[in-house]
């Protein structure tokens, strides 16, 4: 006589996860004929079509290698679409030129530029210059140096916030993969 297997739902701690159920999970299979893998990678059936194939990662890679973006278009339509794509992506392509460039060339955010203005610096100032400017501003406007001066306290707070913005940007720059 075979021994009955005990359920894993008894007692404490509960051996089965709390979000797990005993019901069968609905899984969509890969749309490739004969594939029994989970199909969770959508791919368009044709250009600009809302209909999708659902492939497993292996067949999705195969589909993408063989994908022809201009399939089914006349030569004029394909040329027009390629021209439009180049025009729309031109700004991004042009900006790739500045990937090596330093500050002041469009690589700073609006907040960073405002922070540099608060500290009285040019757009191409590096972090060491900003740190020095912040220290000078702090010495000049610190509430301990000018007790009761509301304007100096506001200037100190603005300088402190500006330095924090520049410090965070410098830390992000340090941790970017390069």
What confidence score (pLDDT) does residue 138 get? 92
Burial class (CB within 10 angstroms; exposed 0-12, middle 13-18, buried 19+) of 142? middle
Instruction: Identify the H or E element spanning 42.
Output: strand 41-44
What confidence score (pLDDT) does residue 134 get? 93
132 versus 84: the higher-pLDDT residue is 132
Task: Specify which residues 29 forms β-bridges with.
Answer: 38
What confidence score (pLDDT) does residue 16 get? 64
What confidence score (pLDDT) does residue 102 get? 46
Predicted confidence (pLDDT) per residue in 79-95, tens digit: 888 888 777 665 555 55
pTM to 2 decimal places: 0.42
Domains of the chain: 27-71 (no CATH), 102-171 (1.10.287.110)
- Please tell me whether residue 137 adopts helix, strand or coil conformation: helix
Predicted confidence (pLDDT) per residue in 68-82, tens digit: 777 778 899 888 888
Task: Specify which residues 44 forms β-bridges with.
Answer: 52
Helix axis angle, 127-141 to 150-175, nearest 10°: 160
What is the rounded distance in angstroms from the CA atom of residue 153 to the CA atom of residue 116? 19
- Model confidence at 101, pLDDT cuts 50, 70, 90, reads very low
* Contact by Cβ (8 Å): 53, 64: no
143 versus 108: the higher-pLDDT residue is 143
Residue 121 has pLDDT above 50, yes or no: yes
Instruction: State the average pLDDT over residues 149-169.
Output: 91
Average pLDDT, the chain: 79
Residue 15 has pLDDT above 70, yes or no: no
- Model confidence at 100, pLDDT cuts 50, 70, 90, reads very low
Burial class (CB within 10 angstroms; exposed 0-12, middle 13-18, buried 19+) of 166? buried
* Buried b / exposed e along 19-43 (16+ C-beta atoms within 10 A): eeeeeeeeeeebbbeeeeeebebee
What is the rounded distance in angstroms from the CA atom of residue 96 to the CA atom of residue 90? 10
Percent of the chain with pLDDT over 70: 73
Percent of the chain with pLDDT over 90: 22
5 versus 35: the higher-pLDDT residue is 35
Q: How many CB atoms lie within 10 A of CB 167?
A: 15
Helix axis angle, 150-175 to 110-118, nearest 10°: 140
């Amino acid at each position: 006589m075979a021994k009955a297997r005990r359920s894993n739902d008894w007692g404490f701690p509960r051996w089965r996860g709390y979000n797990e159920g005993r019901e069968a999970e609905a899984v969509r299979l890969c749309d490739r004929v004969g594939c029994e893998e989970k199909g969770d990678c959508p791919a368009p059936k044709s250009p600009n079509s809302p209909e999708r194939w659902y492939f497993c990662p292996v067949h999705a890679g195969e589909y993408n290698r063989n994908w022809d973006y201009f399939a089914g278009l006349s030569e004029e339509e394909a040329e027009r679409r390629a021209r439009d794509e180049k025009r729309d992506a031109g700004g991004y392509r042009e900006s790739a030129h500045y990937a090596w460039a330093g500050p002041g060339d469009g690589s700073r955010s609006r907040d960073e530029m405002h922070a540099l203005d608060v500290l009285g610096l040019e757009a191409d100032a590096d972090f060491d210059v900003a740190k020095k400017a912040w220290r000078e501003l702090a010495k000049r406007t610190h509430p301990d140096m000018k007790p009761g001066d509301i304007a100096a306290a506001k200037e100190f707070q603005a300088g402190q916030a500006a330095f924090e913005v520049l410090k965070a940007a410098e830390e992000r720059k340090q941790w970017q993969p390069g």
